[in-house]
Amino acid sequence: MQLIDGKKISLEIQETIAEEVKTLLAQGKKKPHLAAILVGNDGGSETYVASKIKTCENVGFNSTLLRFPSDVSEEKLLQAVEDLNNNDDVDGFIVQLPLPKHINEHKVIEAVKPSKDVDGFHPINMGRMVLNLPAYVSATPYGIVQLLDRYNIETSGKNCVVIGRSHIVGSPMSILLAKNTKVGNCTVTLCHSKTKDLKSFTTKADIIVCALGSPEFLKADMVKEGAVVIDVGTTRVASSETKSGFKLKGDVKFDEVAPKCSYITPVPGGVGPMTIASLIMNTLLAAKKEIYK
Ligand code: GUN
């Protein structure tokens, strides 16, 4: 069994990006600039956004964090999006999800200018990704593709099961892995809460991407010997062992699944750091105007 070290790969990508930033500055160009909108004070979202901002600093980007209380009106949030769309100094920005229930998430995502949508959530970027046109690819699926690539994991002709059909992970992941690309050409089955006899699919899978947000859901008897397991879950569960009072749990029962795998991602330190690396890569593309000329 080999552990897929997302933290290490993420740091390698950050080093390459930091070098590119130096080149941009030497050419008299400005620093890439990522902005983030954070609504409310959900613990998980706070941590992710803080990490995104910190990574901007590490690679030499400018960053801006715009915070709003959880009772902010939809109108006010849409105005903030519009202001960022029109701010020429900001190359790309994200609206951290989830948003409070009174705000229409789709409306907010669709308000983001596609050329600044470095999360790749806008229907234009999703559609362009599906059609193999230049697009920002959502950060988590893009990060997983990078991991499979850098570990030289063969995907062509493999049976891949994606568990979870979210708009930001499962659905785009299933599309990317089925594409006729270097990391692709899988026969993909997208499983979800209505799938009957999930185990009959997962036990035939060469690659499993588990993205349903249910701690320790994938057990050893659901995985075949030698499978590649990618764990996207990051649920906070109460713990007396840590200072913060919680631990991050993946969707995979790691201790029993890992010995059966050829490769597996840990939580933390697997997919999570790659999501951030991909966001930073997308922001660099935005600053260089490589997707939308
Ligand atoms: N919430 C969970 N993952 C993500 C992500 O990749 N981007 C944003 N904006 N919100 C998220």
- CATH number of residue 90's parent domain: 3.40.50.10860
Residue 157, pLDDT > 90, answer yes
> In this structure, which long-range contacts are made by residues 202-207, counting pairs with CB atoms below 8 Å and at least 24 apart in sequence?
202/161, 202/163, 204/159, 204/161, 205/159, 205/160, 205/161, 206/158, 206/159, 206/160, 207/148, 207/153, 207/155, 207/158, 207/159, 207/160, 207/161, 207/177
Same domain, 78 and 188: no
Same domain, 107 and 147: no
Tell me which residues have their CB closer than 6 angstroms to ligand 1.
94-97, 119, 139-140, 168, 275
CA 38–ligand 1 middle distance (angstroms): 11
Tell me which residue has its CA closest to atom 11 in ligand 1: 97
> Does residue 5 form part of some domain?
no
Cα(112)–Cα(134) distance, integer angstroms: 17
Find the domain containing 60 and state its range: 29-113
Q: How high is the pLDDT of residue 118?
A: 98
Q: How high is the pLDDT of residue 244?
A: 87
> Does residue 9 form part of some domain?
no
Residue to mutate, 168, 280, 282, ligand 1, most ligand atoms under 8 Å from C-beta:
168
From 89-93, 205-209, 237-241, 270-274, the region with the lowest mean pLDDT: 237-241
CATH classification at residue 235: 3.40.50.720
119 classed as catalytic? yes
| Confidence tier at 192 by pLDDT (50, 70, 90) | very high
CA 203–ligand 1 middle distance (angstroms): 30
Same domain, 168 and 249: yes
Query: Which has the higher per-residue pLDDT, 287 or 237?
Result: 287
CB of 291 closer than 8 Å to CB of 136: yes
Average pLDDT over residues 21-50: 96
In sequence order, the β-bridge partners of residue 67 are 38
Same domain, 102 and 153: no
Q: How high is the pLDDT of residue 262?
A: 98
| Confidence tier at 72 by pLDDT (50, 70, 90) | very high
Same domain, 100 and 162: no
| Confidence tier at 65 by pLDDT (50, 70, 90) | very high
DSSP state of 128: H
pTM of the model: 0.97
SS3 state at 165: coil
Instruction: Kindly state the tokens that stand for 264.
Output: 């597996």
Average pLDDT over residues 42-60: 95
Catalytic residue among 42, 91, 119, 206: 119
Same domain, 107 and 164: no
Catalytic residue among 52, 116, 249, 253: 52
CA 18–ligand 1 middle distance (angstroms): 23
Catalytic residue among 96, 146, 251, 253: 96
CB of 261 closer than 8 Å to CB of 226: yes
52 classed as catalytic? yes
DSSP element (H, E) containing 163: strand 159-163
Q: Which residues of 243-270 are buried (b: 16+ CB within 10 A; e: fewer)?
A: eeeebbbbbbbbeebbebbebbbbbebb
Same domain, 99 and 207: no
Tell me which residue has its CA closest to atom 3 in ligand 1: 97
CA 279 to ligand 1: nearest atom: 6
Residue 168, pLDDT > 90, answer yes
Q: Which of 79, 113, 147 is the last residue of a domain?
A: 113
Same domain, 76 and 143: no
Same domain, 72 and 143: no
Same domain, 147 and 214: yes
CB of 159 closer than 8 Å to CB of 165: no
Q: How many domains does the chain have?
A: 2
Q: How high is the pLDDT of residue 119?
A: 97
Same domain, 147 and 256: yes
Cβ neighbours of residue 11 under 8 Å, at least 6 residues apart? 273
